[in-house]
């Protein structure tokens, strides 16, 4: 029997009004960081219902995304909606590992000061970190104590800016223990 391909395959999905060029830039940047196959899909219309504050429940968006078929096949949506989950004021992103899906919101990743070019650069960098973070959760990684690791929990933009767009050595070891990397014959 042919061995199952163990490479991670990540599809980024621009949702509703999320800018596709930015999503493509996120894919291009992440391809230089992780050895994964990363593609972008055409925009997906999801139009979830917002609450009274105009916020959208991240889980509603996740249920609209196509499910990954296998552990290493993931989908991460990128949206402009301000996302929330119960008991939190807002979230930068959320993941449903059981569906192999994650979602990231650009809404609170934007800078309010600086030149347009600097703001765009900061938004791209933060979006890359949050996408890698949610993809990490889909791959069963938990929050990391190392504040420079992309799996560190971001409560503020300061936290997001402090971490690198990369997994720390400990998280890389955890990733290497994914089911598809474990030889079933051993």
Name which of residues 147 to 186 contact Zn ion (CB under 5 A): 149, 151, 168, 171
Q: What is the CA radius of gyration of the chain?
A: 16
| C-beta closer to Zn ion: residue 71 or 94 | 94
Q: Which is nearer to Zn ion, 119 or 164 (CB)?
A: 164
**21 with 84: CB under 8 angstroms?**
no
The window from 62-70, 81-89, 107-115, 138-146 that contacts Zn ion (CB under 5 A) reads 138-146
* Cβ-based nearer residue to Zn ion, 28 or 172: 172
Q: Does 13 bind Zn ion (CB under 5 A)?
A: no
CA distance 5 to 58: 30
Q: Distance (Å, rounded) from C-alpha 139 to C-alpha 95? A: 10
Judge contact between 127 and 105, C-beta under 8 A: no
Strand-pair category, 83-84 with 37-40: unpaired
Query: Which of these ranges, 37-45, 60-68, 146-154, 157-165, lies near Zn ion under the rule CB under 5 A?
Result: 146-154
Name the helix (H) or strand (E) containing 29: helix 20-31
- Site membership for Zn ion, residue 144 (CB under 5 A): yes
96 phi/psi in degrees, rounded to 5: -125, 85
Reported as half-sphere exposure (CB side, CA atoms, 13 A), residue 174 has a value of: 15
Least Å distance, CB 133 to Zn ion, is 6
Q: In the annotation, is 134 catalytic?
A: yes
Catalytic-labelled residue, pool 69, 130, 134, 180: 134
- Both tokens assigned to 141: 């990684």
132 is a site residue for Zn ion (CB under 5 A): no
Comparing CB distances to Zn ion, the nearer of 28 and 88 is 88
Based on the shown chain and the rule CB under 5 A, indicate whether residue 58 belongs to the binding site for Zn ion.
no
Binding flag, residue 78, Zn ion (CB under 5 A)? no
DSSP labels, 70-116 = STTEEEEEEE-S-EE-TTSS-BSEEEEGGGTEEEEE-TTT--SSS-H
Minimum CB–partner distance for residue 6 and Zn ion (Å): 21
What is the binding site for Zn ion (CB under 5 A)?
Answer: 144, 146, 149, 151, 168, 171
Active site residues: 134
């Amino acid at each position: 029997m042919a061995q199952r391909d163990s490479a991670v395959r990540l599809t980024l999905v621009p949702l509703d009004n999320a800018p596709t060029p930015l999503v493509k830039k996120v894919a291009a940047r992440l391809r230089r960081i992780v050895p994964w196959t990363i593609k972008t899909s055409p925009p997906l219309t999801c139009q979830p219902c917002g609450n009274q504050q105009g916020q959208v429940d991240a889980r509603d968006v996740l249920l609209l995304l196509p499910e990954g078929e296998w552990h290493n096949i993931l989908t991460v949506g990128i949206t402009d909606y301000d996302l929330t989950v119960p008991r939190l004021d807002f979230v930068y992103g959320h993941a449903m590992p059981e569906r192999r899906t994650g979602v990231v919101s650009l809404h609170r990743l934007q800078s309010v000061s600086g030149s347009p070019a600097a703001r765009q650069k900061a938004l791209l960098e933060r979006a890359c970190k949050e996408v890698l973070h949610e993809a990490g959760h889909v791959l069963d990684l938990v929050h990391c104590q190392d504040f420079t690791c992309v799996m560190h929990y971001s409560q503020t933009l300061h936290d997001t800016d402090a971490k690198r767009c990369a997994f720390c050595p400990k998280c890389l070891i955890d990733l290497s223990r994914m089911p598809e990397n474990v030889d079933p014959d051993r």
